[in-house]
Amino acid sequence: MPAALAAALHAQSGAARWGLELAQFTECLRASAARQFGECGPGAGEIERYLKGLRLEDLALAAACAAGLAEAWEYFVAHYREALYAAARAIVGAPRDEERARELADSLYADLYGVAGATGARGKPLLAYFHGRSKLSTWLRAVLSQRYVDLLRAGRREVALDEGDDDSEGARSGARIAVAALRQPGETRDPDRERYIGLLRAALLDALASVSDEDRSRLRAYYVDARTLAEIAKRRGEHEATASRHLERCRRELRGRVERRLLEGDAPQDGRAARPGLSAAQVELCFEYAVEDWPFDLKSALGRDGGEEPGVT
Amino acid sequence: MAAGDRESDSEKRKEKAFERMLADALSADARKDCPDAEILAAFYEHSLASADVEHWRAHFAGCSRCQQALVALAASDPNPMAEEEVARLGELVAAAAAPARVAPRPRISRWAWFFDPRSLAPLAAAVIFGVAIWVAVRSPNVAPVENFAIAPTTSEALTAENKVAPAAPSVMAQLSPSPSEPPAMQVPVHRTAREMPAVAPATPPPPPAAMAGNAGSAPAAQSSDRTEQSAEQAATAAPAPASPPEQQENSGAAASSAESGGGATPSSNGGVVGGVEPLNGRVETLTVTRSVRAKSQVAGFVAANSDSQIGWSFGGGGRIARSSDGGRTWVQQKSPVQTELLAGSAPSETVCWLVGRGGAIVRTTDGVKWELVASPEQAEQDGRAPDWTFVEARDALYAVIRTENGRRFFTSDGGKTWQPQ
C-alpha cells in the first residue's frame, strides 16, 4: 500500500484524535482490503478505490477501541452504548422484556471490548472484526441481530424438542437462559465429559455428511427452520404422515450411524491415529453427557469459540 | 418409579439430547454459508459491490436465518418515522401480536413462512414492510442515472427518508420485475400476489461504451453494471410511456408480490421488499419502478405517487420537463443548471428535488419554478463539487443526498444548510 495513500486516509479518518498511529491504521486498511479481495490480487487502482470508499472515521474509531485506546472507548461509550441498548430493545420487543434486551446488549458490549471467560481477561475484541465497509452503527446492529436470531433459534429448538412442555414462556426463557449462560463463568468439567461430547458431535457431523440432500433439506426444515410437519409436507407435496415417517426414519438412521461410529472407532486418517471404539456403556455416557450439557452446544452455535468473526461459524 | 419407566425416561432424554445436537449441527451447517455481520450491514446499507449484492441476494432468498436477521436489523433502524405512522404501528402491533410461547411443534402462520412472529419482536414484524420498502428503493452503489418512483399502498405517510408506511403485518416477498408492467409514470398497485410473475434475476450485460467515461471508480463501474442490468431487465418490460423528446428507450419495473411462503427475498435494486397482507385479507403489493438511461440524454423521471398524473423527467444539459397527464405530454421547464441531472425525488405533486453532476441540486416547491440549491461545501474535494447520484426527499425542507462514493448529507431547511450523515 503506498505510504502516501495510507497517510492520506489516516489523516482523513481522524485517527490521530484517538491516538491511533499510522502503522496501526495502515494495518487495519490492509486487513480490510484482504477481507474484501482475499487472494484475488487486484490492481492498485481497485484497492485504492475500495479503501477510499470505506467508512474511515468509523474504522479508525473501531480500530482505536480494539487497540484499547481510552479516548476512543470513552467516545464509543458516549455515542454508541445507548444506541446499542435502543437497538436491542427494538429487536427484542421491549418494554415487554427490557431485561432480556439489556442482557443482549450487555453481552455484545462485553464482546466488543474483548472480555472473555471466567477470568475476565481481555480476548480479541469484536471491534477488531469491523472493516469499515458499512457504518459502525449498522454493523453493531447487524451483530446484535444475528446474535439474537441465533439465540432465539437455539432457544426455540430447545423448546420444540421438549414435547408436552406447557411453559408458555418457553422460547423466551430458553433465550434468557442462553443469554445468562453466556455471561456465567464456565463450570469445571470432567475432561472425559468433554471428550465424549466431542466424539458424539464428531460422529454426528460425520453421519450428517452422508445424508442425502433431500433428507438434509427435510431435517433442516424441521430442526433449523422449525417448520411444522404440515408445512414440510405441503412444501414437498406429500401427506403429513409421510413427512413424519421420513423424518423419523432420518432421525433413526442418523442415530444408528452415530452409535455405530462410536462403537467402531475411527481408522487412521490424514496423519491422525486410529481411535478405538467405545464400549456400549461409554456410548451411553456420551448421550448422558449430551443430555446434561446443552450450554456447550449453545456456545458452539453462537460461534463464540476461538474469537471467530461475528456472524460466522 | 419402576425400572422400566426409568429406562424409558432415560431413553427419552437421550433421544431429546440427540435431537438437540442434531438441530445444532444442522444449524451450524446451514450457517456456514451465511454472511458475516459486516456484509449483512453493507448489504442493508446498499454499499456492497453489485456482484456481491447478487450473490448475497441469492443466499438470502433461501436462508431463513439471514431473513430473520434482516428483519431484526430493519426493526432496530433508528431512523425516525412520522407520527401518523407511529400511531398506525400501534394498531398493527396489536393486530400482529402473537403469543410469546413457541409450541413444541411450532405452528407458523401460513403467511409468515420464514420467521416466527411470536419469536421476533412484534414491532419488527410491524415495521418490516415500511422499512423494507425504504430499503428497496435506495440504490446500492448508486448508478449515476437511476431514480425511483415509489408507489405507496394504502398509507400515504412518508417518513424522513421516504419510507412507506406498512399497511399490515408484513411478510417477506419477492420483488420481481414484471414484463407486463406499465410505464413508470403509471404505477399500478397489484391487488393479488398471483398477478405478480416471478422473474429470474438478469445477468449483467457488459457496460456500454457510453458509460466508459464514468468508469473512474469502483462505484461508477458498478453503477454502469447496474444501469445496464436495469436496461436489460427493462428491455423485457413494457414499452416506455409517451415521453418527452429524447426520452429513454424503456423503463424497468419491479413489483413485489406477497402471500404465503415469501421469505425475505431482496429486491432487484438491492433492498428487501415485503409484501403486505392487510387485515381485510386482500394482498396489497408495492410496485417500485426504475427508469434507466439508455442512449438518450434524459436520465429518468420521477412521479409524485402511484395515483398521480404529475411527474418530471430530467437528464442531460440540466433538462427538466413536467407531465400532468401521466406522461402523455410534456412541458419543458426552465432549469437553473446546465449540468446533467442524475436522480430525483418527488415527495408530492408540487415538490421535487433533482440532483446531478458538478454539485447540481435543484428544487421546486410549486411544481413549476425551479431554484438552485447550494451544494454542501463539505462535500467538495480538491475544490470540486461532487456528482450527486442519489436524493431522497420527505418534503420541501428535508432531503438526503449522496455522492457516487457514498458520502451522504442531509438538510432540514430546504438546503440552506447541510449536515454530513
- Residue A303 belongs to a domain: no
**Based on the domain organization, do A52 and A79 belong to the same domain?**
no
Is any Cβ of chain A less than 8 angstroms from the Cβ of B142?
Answer: no
**Based on the domain organization, do A167 and A102 belong to the same domain?**
yes
Most confident segment among A40-44, A49-53, B160-164, B179-183: A49-53
Which pLDDT value is given to residue B325?
80
Domain boundary among A183, A213, A247: A183
- Residue A189 belongs to a domain: no
- Residue B40 belongs to a domain: yes
Which pLDDT value is given to residue B315?
86
pLDDT above 90: residue A62: yes
Residue of B nearest to A160 (CA): B104
ipTM field: 0.73
pLDDT above 70: residue A28: yes
- Residue B256 belongs to a domain: yes
We report the CATH number of the domain holding residue A203 as 1.10.10.10
Domain boundary among B262, B296, B330: B296
Q: How many domains does the structure of chain B reveal?
A: 2
- Residue A308 belongs to a domain: no
Q: Which of B80, B105, B82, B87 is nearest to B19 (CA)?
A: B105
How are beta strands B320-323 and B311-315 bridged, if at all?
antiparallel
**Based on the domain organization, do B236 and B341 belong to the same domain?**
no
Residue of B nearest to A151 (CA): B119
Among B30, B71, B118, select the one facing A220 at the smallest CB separation.
B30
Is any Cβ of chain A less than 8 angstroms from the Cβ of B281?
Answer: no
Cα A89 from chain centroid (whole Å): 20
Domain boundary among A145, A161, A183: A183
- Residue B292 belongs to a domain: yes
- Residue B273 belongs to a domain: yes
Owning domain of residue B242: 30-99+108-296
Least confident residue range of A11-15, A104-108, B118-122, B341-345: B118-122
- Residue A230 belongs to a domain: yes
Which pLDDT value is given to residue B129?
61
CA distance B61 to chain A (A): 14
**Based on the domain organization, do B303 and B292 belong to the same domain?**
no
Whether B76 sits inside 8 A of A88 (CB atoms) is: yes
Give me the residues of B, 24-83, that contact A with CB < 8 A.
24-32, 34-42, 44-45, 47-48, 64-65, 68-73, 75-78
**Based on the domain organization, do A168 and A124 belong to the same domain?**
yes
When scoring A81, A144, A223 by the number of chain B Cβ atoms within 10 A, the one with the most, hence best to mutate, is A223
Q: How far apart are CA B94 and CA B104, in angstroms?
A: 24
**Based on the domain organization, do B412 and B320 belong to the same domain?**
yes
Which pLDDT value is given to residue B286?
27
pLDDT above 90: residue A37: no
Domain boundary among A43, A64, A85: A64
- Residue A80 belongs to a domain: yes
- Residue B18 belongs to a domain: no
- Which residue(s) pair with B170 in the sheet? B276
**Based on the domain organization, do B241 and B304 belong to the same domain?**
no
Which pLDDT value is given to residue B138?
55
pLDDT above 90: residue A63: yes
CA distance A2 to chain B (A): 18
Greater confidence (A302 vs A89) lies with A89
**Based on the domain organization, do B310 and B287 belong to the same domain?**
no
**Based on the domain organization, do A157 and A210 belong to the same domain?**
no
- Residue A132 belongs to a domain: yes
Which pLDDT value is given to residue A309?
53
Least confident residue range of A7-16, A54-63, A156-165, A184-193: A156-165
Spans of chain B below 50 pLDDT:
81-82, 84-115, 117, 139-298
**Based on the domain organization, do A59 and A91 belong to the same domain?**
no
Q: How many domains does the structure of chain A reveal?
A: 3
Whether A297 sits inside 8 A of B21 (CB atoms) is: yes
- Residue B11 belongs to a domain: no
Instruction: Report, as an integer, the average pLDDT of A104-110.
Output: 84
CA distance A273 to chain B (A): 25
Among B38, B77, B100, select the one facing A131 at the smallest CB separation.
B38
- Residue B21 belongs to a domain: no
**Based on the domain organization, do A170 and A198 belong to the same domain?**
no
**Based on the domain organization, do A51 and A92 belong to the same domain?**
no
Domain boundary among B248, B265, B296: B296
**Based on the domain organization, do A288 and A203 belong to the same domain?**
yes
CA distance B71 to chain A (A): 8
Is any Cβ of chain A less than 8 angstroms from the Cβ of B162?
Answer: no
- Residue B12 belongs to a domain: no
Q: How far apart are CA A236 and CA A243, in angstroms?
A: 8
Owning domain of residue A49: 3-64
Read off the pTM: 0.48
Give the list of residues 6+ apart from residue A198 with CB closer than 8 angstroms, or none: none
- Residue A304 belongs to a domain: no
Which pLDDT value is given to residue B63?
82
We report the CATH number of the domain holding residue B305 as 2.130.10.10
Domain boundary among B252, B268, B296: B296
Most confident segment among A186-195, A291-300, B43-52, B293-302: B43-52
